[in-house]
Amino acid sequence: MEKNIVLIGFMGTGKTSIGMRLARTLKREFVDTDREIETLTGMNVFTIFKKYGEVRFRSEEELLTKKLALRKRLVIATGGGMVLNPHNLEILSENGILICLQADPATILNRVKKKKQARPLLGKEVTLERIVELLEARKDFYSRANIVVNTSGLSPDEIVAEILTKLRGVNDETAKS
């Protein structure tokens, strides 16, 4: 399968850590879009939001999406808001299998509290209400994935194993059609 594997989903669902493991297992190159934008702009995500606003960050995401969609066999961990732009969603899915990682709001809260600086959209004091509200607003975008994996209660190894099983299913379907 030459297509990219694109992990989408809310902040704190494990896209980066699972993406790295998956890339190692499949011997593919791994790209984390937030880290890539930080390298390209020379600023961290927090600073981009603070100094130039969300609009600038989203435009960096769109530029990067176009570049990544031209490449093959990547494992890409997207920032949680990347697929809110329908254009990004469209071009990522043209040459990629979209996998959405889900986690329950309490698990997300626990994870994001540890890395406040990286998530300017959640504000200084992250609350469960804010997470539930954003999840609700974004659910239609995340549901566009080809594969959905609920990570609650699963170890990283189990999550990767489930992704691999579901990817085989998608490949078999593609081969049949």
Q: Which of these segments, 64-72, 119-127, 159-167, 168-176, binds ligand S3P (CB under 6 A)?
A: 119-127
Q: Is 80 in the site for ligand S3P (CB under 6 A)?
A: yes
- For ligand S3P, the closer CB: 2 or 129: 129
Alpha helices, H only, the chain:
15-26, 33-41, 45-47, 53-69, 86-94, 105-113, 128-142, 156-176
- For ligand S3P, the closer CB: 1 or 130: 130
- For ligand S3P, the closer CB: 17 or 25: 17
Per-residue interface string for the shown chain with ligand S3P, residues 11-40, x marking contact by CB under 6 A? x---x------------------x------
126: amino acid identity, one letter: V
Distance CA 127, CA 123 (A): 9
Output 108-114 pairs: Cβ under 8 A, ≥24 positions apart: 108/10, 108/11, 108/12, 108/13, 108/135, 109/12, 110/12, 111/12, 111/14, 112/11, 112/12
Q: What 3-state class would DSSP assign to 80?
A: coil
Distance CA 137, CA 71 (A): 30
CB of 80 to ligand S3P, least distance (A): 3
Residue 88 neighbours by CB under 8 Å, 6+ apart: 61, 62, 65, 82
Per-residue interface string for the shown chain with ligand S3P, residues 147-166, x marking contact by CB under 6 A? --------------------
Among 35, 120, 154, 170, binds ligand S3P (CB under 6 A): 120
Per-residue interface string for the shown chain with ligand S3P, residues 45-74, x marking contact by CB under 6 A? x-----------------------------
CB of 165 to ligand S3P, least distance (A): 24
Q: Name the residues that contact ligand S3P, by CB under 6 A.
A: 11, 15, 34, 45, 79-81, 118-121
